[in-house]
A and B are shown apart, each in its own frame.
Chain A
Amino acid sequence: MNLRDLLKPGPLPPAIQSRRRDTLLTIGACVLTAVGLWLLQAHTSGYVVHMACVGALFATLAVSYNLINGVTGQFSLEPNAFVACGAYVTALLTLSPAEKEASFILEPLIWPLSAFSIPLLPALVIAGLLTALMAFFMGFPVFRVRGDYLAIVTLGFGEVIRVVANNAQSVTNGPLGLKGIPHLTNLWWSWGLLAVCLFCIVRLVHSSYGRALKAIREDETAAEAMGINAFWHKMLAFTLSAFFEGVAGGLLAHLITTISPSLFTFFLTFNLLIIIVVGGLGSTTGAVLAAFLFTFGGEWLRVVEEPTRLLGWDIPGIPGMRMVIFSLILVGVMIFLRRGILGRHDFTWRWIIAVLGRGRTRS
């Protein structure tokens, strides 16, 4: 749609009208969410707020991971590396020199890092950019291979970062980790990041670049024959997802206030992989939905581990029962919704309006 069409007198063409409607609806939804968060902050316990923060950060991670795994179709297994990188960089930048000196007892922290600290926002930006830079250099060897080999190479990188974090004691404090990270992450930081991440990634996916990314997922050779430079498109998706994973890692560090290499094992990647597969590979809204189900589901299922009285029987609580039920749910999803909850589809305003409209005509 070019400028001349917009300037024409008379009613706007339908495409622009519906786009304007979608923008207004999106802004409205953001305002509603903000009000909801404000109510949550004011009227619920710190525990619920904490879980809402975790949910938003995992949604951010899942949406970014889905960009490279689901949209571009490059099966990679390295997000734990990016989250670790973001978490360590941000923590090292915000910790006060006194805290650092107290933490690094085996080997002192190397010089420039030991002498200063900066506020959270610039620290997050630096962490995001450094993580993206790491992804950029990682991309050259990684995208020489495809398919299973890509998964293995990226898995290797994920492990390398963890080993480095364990052994580079003068920077990461080794297995002792970093403690006393200021608790700066709140609802606004985590949900704000999710909003920015969604805005960027949804815009990208619906642009002409996004179409090219999907073409690469469908058939890389055909995409190349069409004039799409597959390598640089993959790099774009990879570095952008690394940026958001790094920033989310930084906020995660400032939410749980203690980080150590054992937090960033392959299990983190594995959990994110479950989230995006359950949500539907390639579906951004599916990733968000599944991330919140995953975060809150685990908490709700705690009920089954408490002793209860059912039909006159006293049932003792069985520890670990919720993981059994959780696994059964996952198996169920994979049997009945083989492509995840949303498949490759996304919630769109048009779809929601159509569903609501159908309900109204029926009643």
Chain B
Amino acid sequence: MTAPPMLEVNGLTVRYGGITAIRSVDIKVRRGEIVTLVGANGAGKSTLLGAISGLIKPAAGSIVYQGKEVAGVQAHRLSRQGLILVPEGRRIFINLSVRENLILGGYFRSRDAEFGRDLERVLATFPRLAERAGQPAGTLSGGERQMLALGRGLMGRPKLMMLDEPSLGLAPLLVAEVFKVIRRIHKQGVTVLLVEQNAAAALGIADRAYVLETGRVVLSGPGRELAADGRVQRAYLGME
């Protein structure tokens, strides 16, 4: 039962100038899991995802993805190996059309029939995007933008998809919609590493979860177990 994990982070430390953002963090993601990172603002969640995806250079520690050491490897190389980040705040290309955004998501892939099928599948998954395929992405609403960011990520054929705050700034109904989509993506065989402030929803769908506080992992365990933990309830779920 001990298959090698898809992603293993050991002793990862990231500094911005003299400030240590995350300190000696260990996390593990197994194939087929949904793993959640919860934590307050500034706990280092986005920094951790940035370092794993290669956008930020770690100061120390190792990141092993699919059996290979990838700490310090540039982001554009990692995304080719199926390690795809859907960044915080969507970061879609607002002056390009919805279709162009999706095509860019699979930039490094060859434009074969499979590419066309994937594009059609994404458009079928998100009918709103299909309706607006020719429009500039800047004309989309917040929820639609998040769907576009997810669809763009899917076009890169992710094996491990890292989602940074996908529910940020969305109305409750749309938050539920986003989590439904994340479940669907997971069912298609994609491993998911999820960063969320909406701890209740995130712990609800997670197989396992980590709690980050000021750059360190302070708690970890199965999602349900953490959701029942008194400390987590008080700090993140607003329960007394």
CB 8 Å contact bits of A203-236 with B (1 = contact, 0 = none): 0000010011011001101111111111000000
Q: Which of B55, B84, B107, B152 makes the CB contact (< 8 A) with A228?
A: B107
- Closest CB in chain A relative to B145 CB, distance in Å: 12
Q: Which of B80, B92, B100 makes the CB contact (< 8 A) with A211?
A: B100
Instruction: Give the docked Cα–Cα distance between A215 and B91 (Å).
Output: 11
Given known A224-B55, A225-B85, A227-B156, contact A214–B76 (CB-CB < 8 A): no
For B100, the chain A residues whose CB sits under 8 A away are 211, 214
Q: A218–B85 contact, CB under 8 A?
A: no
Q: Which of B87, B104, B105, B111 makes the CB contact (< 8 A) with A221?
A: B87
Instruction: Give the docked Cα–Cα distance between A230 and B55 (Å).
Output: 12
For A228, the chain B residues whose CB sits under 8 A away are 76, 104, 107-108
A344 at the interface (CB under 8 A from B): yes
Q: B95–A230 contact, CB under 8 A?
A: no
For A218, the chain B residues whose CB sits under 8 A away are 93-96
B103 at the interface (CB under 8 A from A): yes
For A222, the chain B residues whose CB sits under 8 A away are 87, 91-93
Instruction: Considering the complex, give the chain B residue whose CB is closest to the CB of A221.
Output: B55
For B79, the chain A residues whose CB sits under 8 A away are 225-227
Residues of B101-149 at the interface with A, using a CB-CB cut-off of 8 Å, are 103-105, 107-108, 111
Q: B76–A230 contact, CB under 8 A?
A: yes
- Closest CB in chain A relative to B136 CB, distance in Å: 10
Instruction: Give the docked Cα–Cα distance between A221 and B76 (Å).
Output: 10
CB 8 Å contact bits of B50-63 with A (1 = contact, 0 = none): 00010100000000
Q: B93–A225 contact, CB under 8 A?
A: no
For A224, the chain B residues whose CB sits under 8 A away are 55, 74-76
For A215, the chain B residues whose CB sits under 8 A away are 93, 96, 104, 107
Q: A225–B53 contact, CB under 8 A?
A: yes
Q: A208–B95 contact, CB under 8 A?
A: no
- Closest CB in chain B relative to A254 CB, distance in Å: 39
CB 8 Å contact bits of B151-166 with A (1 = contact, 0 = none): 0100010000000000
- Closest CB in chain A relative to B10 CB, distance in Å: 23
Instruction: Give the docked Cα–Cα distance between A211 and B102 (Å).
Output: 11
For B84, the chain A residues whose CB sits under 8 A away are 225
Instruction: Give the docked Cα–Cα distance between A225 and B85 (Å).
Output: 6
Q: A219–B95 contact, CB under 8 A?
A: no
For B104, the chain A residues whose CB sits under 8 A away are 211-212, 215, 223, 226, 228
- Closest CB in chain B relative to A55 CB, distance in Å: 29
For A208, the chain B residues whose CB sits under 8 A away are 103, 107, 111
- Closest CB in chain A relative to B200 CB, distance in Å: 28
Instruction: Considering the complex, give the chain B residue whose CB is closest to the CB of A225.
Output: B85
- Closest CB in chain B relative to A3 CB, distance in Å: 13
Instruction: Considering the complex, give the chain B residue whose CB is closest to the CB of A214.
Output: B96
Q: B108–A227 contact, CB under 8 A?
A: yes
Q: B96–A229 contact, CB under 8 A?
A: no
Q: Which of A214, A225, A229, A344 makes the CB contact (< 8 A) with B87?
A: A225
For B108, the chain A residues whose CB sits under 8 A away are 227-228
For B152, the chain A residues whose CB sits under 8 A away are 226
For A230, the chain B residues whose CB sits under 8 A away are 76
- Closest CB in chain B relative to A169 CB, distance in Å: 45
- Closest CB in chain A relative to B126 CB, distance in Å: 18
- Closest CB in chain B relative to A144 CB, distance in Å: 14
Instruction: Considering the complex, give the chain B residue whose CB is closest to the CB of A212.
Output: B107
Instruction: Give the docked Cα–Cα distance between A74 and B200 (Å).
Output: 43
For B76, the chain A residues whose CB sits under 8 A away are 224-230
A contact residues vs B (CB 8 Å cutoff): 208, 211-212, 214-215, 218-219, 221-230, 344
A-B contact pairs, 25 of them (CB 8 A): A208-B103, A208-B107, A211-B100, A211-B104, A212-B107, A214-B93, A214-B96, A215-B93, A215-B104, A218-B93, A218-B96, A222-B91, A223-B93, A223-B104, A224-B74, A224-B75, A225-B85, A226-B79, A226-B105, A227-B76, A227-B79, A227-B80, A227-B107, A227-B108, A230-B76
